[in-house]
Every structure is written in structure tokens, then in C-alpha cells.
């Protein structure tokens, strides 16, 4: 079984629709994928409809924007009850805050570069979670930068004067909400320094205490030499080892299935969760 439990679609900052993602997953030889858009579950139904035709099993999930002492991080939630009030509240608040934040960033960028809010919204599917990658797409279209990666290194990173924060969950709250909703939480790409500062080791202990299920170790954004240390940490804290592509369609170089998670870990994940994996 080849399982890639972390991917994105046009419901957030990916470039493939959920339908395209499912057939791309089949073409990549995957048996199961996780559909985990940022702060939204609106891709689940379309993905689910494509399970029989694609022959690919679907884990429904979401990547939650979270914080630890001012450091932003991403918490993956899997197979939780989407009706849970705390989750619904998070989705509503963060998605709205992301719109105001993107608007403010575009206003600042517009003082120096030929880019307007309309240019950005053309790159966002209606109802999708708004993020910096959409601003990056408009900057590419305007000829300001070559690609999304360049937009991030030059203009959109947290050290840039154009950067604006958005609301995010406390990481331990996010873990609790997911667990209370019958799901499991996995700390995404914990050693990805180019994104932001990395959380200190003690954070993993607090997260484990709060009920974290696993950490994403095999991921291209984790600096390579961090992996043995993360693996040791996972063993000590009894956290499962995850690996994934974090596929964003053509929005990122990440290829489906470039990292995967073992069947044993996924078996343990799906046991007694509120939602079931959808099988072809
Ligand atoms: P935001 O959600 O607005 O904070 O933007 C973060 C998202 O931008 C992440 O989920 C990544 O998908 C994307 N991202 C971060 N760094 C890069 C990069 N260097 N190149 C392309 N996309 C990136
Ligand atoms: Fe993303
Ligand atoms: Fe992420
Ligand atoms: Zn992701």
C-alpha cells in the first residue's frame, strides 16, 4: 500500500481540483491519499465522489493554521467530525481573518508593485481558503517574480515589510479540538525553517501531552539532518512517524508520493476515529 496523507487542492492553495487530485493520485500509483486543504473541508465531497472511479482510498483531513508562542505552524487533523463546534468556529474565524490579511498585504504590495486585489482574486476559486500563494500567483502574472517560491523568498515571508499576520489557533487547542471531534492530530513539517522560526523541542512534549498522534518526519521541507533527531523524539514521546508529499498541484515542485506513510501507522490512525476512510 502506498499512502500519501497530505495534499492540497483548489479549495485552498493547490492547483488541482479534488477531482484532478484523485486521478493524479491514481496515475502516481497511490492506493490512499489524505485530502488536507488549509482551514477548510469543502473539498471532501468532491474527493469522495471520485473514490470509486479513481480506485484511490480517501482520508478526509484538514491542515489547521496554528501558533506556538508566536511561531506559526501547521497541524493536520484527520477523520474528525466536521460538525464539531470548536472546529466550525476555527474555520469561520481563520478563513475570515485570512481574507482581511491578504487584502492588507496586497494593499501594501500595491504601493510598490503593479498588483491589485482583483488580480489576486482571479487566482482564488470562490469559497477557497485565501493564502499567500494566491498573492504570489498575481505577482507572477504581473511579472514581478518568476514563480511562487521567488515571491516567498523576496516579498511574502514573515520578515518582509509586506507580511501581515492572520488569526490562528493555539497549537494545543487545535490538538484538543481534533481529538474532541473524534479525530487524530499530526504536526506537519515541524522542521521547515525557511517558512518561519521552528518550534523548540519542548513544544513536542507539550503537544504529546495534549494528545498529538504523530509528526511528519519524511517531508521535503524538514531540513534533512533534522530527521534522525525527529525520529528519536517520536520514539521517546510515542508519536507515529508520518511522511507525505504536501502536494499542491503545479503550485509547488512537490510530487505526489515523493514521501509516504507506512500502512501500520495509517492502520493505527484510522482505528476508532469518528470518520471512516472511504474505500473504492
Ligand atoms: P499562508 O497560508 O498564507 O500563510 O501561506 C502559506 C502557504 O504558502 C503554505 O501552505 C505553502 O503551501 C505555501 N508556501 C510557503 N512557502 C512557499 C514557497 N517557498 N514556495 C511556494 N509556496 C510556498
Ligand atoms: Fe499550502
Ligand atoms: Fe503546511
Ligand atoms: Zn500542506
For 61, the enclosing helix (H) or strand (E) is strand 57-68
- Res. 243: pLDDT tops 80: yes
Q: Which residues pair with 33 in a beta bridge?
A: 4, 58
Instruction: Kindly identify the ligand whose nearest atom is closest to the C-alpha of 131.
Output: 1
What's the gap in Å between 123 CA and the centre of ligand 4?
18
Mean pLDDT across the chain, nearest whole number? 96
Q: Is 101 in the pocket of ligand 1 (CB under 6 A)?
A: no
Mean pLDDT of 174-190: 98
Region of 257 please: left (phi>0), alpha (psi -120 to 50) or beta.
left
**SS3 category, 85:** helix
Could you tell me the pLDDT band of residue 148, with boundaries at 50, 70 and 90? very high
Question: Of all atoms in ligand 1, which is nearest to the CA of residue 8?
Answer: 12
For ligand 1, mutation pick of 62, 109, 195, 245 (most atoms within 8 Å of CB): 195
Ligand 4 mean position, distance from CA 246 (Å)? 5
| Listed residue (120, 76, 65, 72) closest to 98, CA to CA | 65
- 223 Cβ below 6 A of ligand 1: no
Centre of ligand 4 to C-alpha 85, Å, is 23
Per-residue confidence at 224, pLDDT binned at 50, 70, 90? confident
Q: Is the pLDDT of residue 196 over 90?
A: no
d(CA 26, CA 124) in angstroms, rounded, equals: 26
pLDDT at 239 over 90: yes
Q: 216 pLDDT exceeds 70?
A: yes
Q: What average pLDDT does range 257-270 have in this prediction?
A: 98
Strand partners, 83: none
Give the pLDDT confidence score for residue 194 in this predicted structure.
65
pLDDT in tens, 56-91: 999 999 999 999 999 999 999 999 999 999 999 999
Query: Ligand 4: distance of its center to the CA of 37 in Å?
Result: 7
150 Cβ contact partners less than 8 Å away, ≥ 6 residues apart: none
pLDDT at 169 over 90: yes
* DSSP notation for 3-51: EEEEE--TTTT-SS-HHHHHHHHHHTT-SEEEE--BT--TTHHHHHHTH
Q: Is 197 a residue whose pLDDT tops 90?
A: no
**Mind giving me the DSSP string for 132-183?**
HHHHHHHHHHTTSSSSHHHHIIIIISTTSTT------EEHHHHHHHHHHTT-
Degrees to nearest 5, angle at CA 166 with 128 and 121 = 35
63 CA closest ligand 1 atom index: 10
- Average the pLDDT over 26-32 and give the result: 98
Amino acid at each position: 500500500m502506498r499512502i500519501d496523507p497530505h495534499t492540497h487542492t483548489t479549495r485552498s492553495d493547490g492547483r488541482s481540483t479534488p477531482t484532478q487530485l484523485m486521478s493524479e493520485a491514481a496515475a502516481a500509483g497511490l492506493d490512499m491519499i489524505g485530502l488536507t486543504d488549509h482551514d477548510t473541508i469543502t473539498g471532501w465531497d468532491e474527493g469522495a465522489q471520485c473514490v470509486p472511479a479513481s480506485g484511490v482510498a480517501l482520508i478526509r483531513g484538514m491542515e489547521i493554521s496554528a501558533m506556538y508562542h508566536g511561531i506559526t505552524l501547521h497541524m493536520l487533523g484527520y477523520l474528525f467530525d466536521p460538525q464539531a463546534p470548536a472546529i466550525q468556529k476555527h474555520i469561520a474565524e481563520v478563513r475570515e481573518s485570512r481574507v482581511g490579511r491578504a487584502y492588507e498585504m496586497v494593499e501594501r504590495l500595491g504601493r510598490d508593485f503593479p498588483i491589485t486585489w482583483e488580480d489576486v482574486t482571479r487566482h482564488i476559486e470562490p469559497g477557497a481558503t485565501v493564502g499567500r500563494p494566491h498573492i504570489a500567483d498575481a505577482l507572477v502574472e504581473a511579472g514581478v517574480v518568476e514563480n511562487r517560491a521567488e515571491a516567498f523568498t523576496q516579498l511574502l515571508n514573515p520578515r518582509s515589510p509586506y507580511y501581515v499576520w492572520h488569526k490562528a489557533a493555539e497549537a494545543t487547542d487545535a490538538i484538543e479540538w481534533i481529538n474532541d471531534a473524534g479525530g487524530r492530530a499530526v504536526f506537519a513539517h515541524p522542521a521547515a525553517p525557511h517558512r518561519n522560526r521552528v518550534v523548540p523541542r519542548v513544544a513536542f512534549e507539550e503537544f504529546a501531552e495534549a494528545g498529538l498522534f504523530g509528526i511528519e518526519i519524511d517531508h521535503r521541507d524538514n531540513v534533512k539532518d533534522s530527521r534522525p533527531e525527529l525520529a528519536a523524539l517520536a520514539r521517546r514521546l510515542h508519536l507515529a512517524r508520518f511522511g507525505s508529499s504536501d502536494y499542491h498541484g503545479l503550485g509547488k515542485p512537490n510530487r505526489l508520493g515523493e514521501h509516504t506513510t507506512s500502512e501500520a501507522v495509517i492502520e493505527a490512525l484510522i482505528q476508532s476515529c469518528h470518520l471512516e476512510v472511504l474505500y473504492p
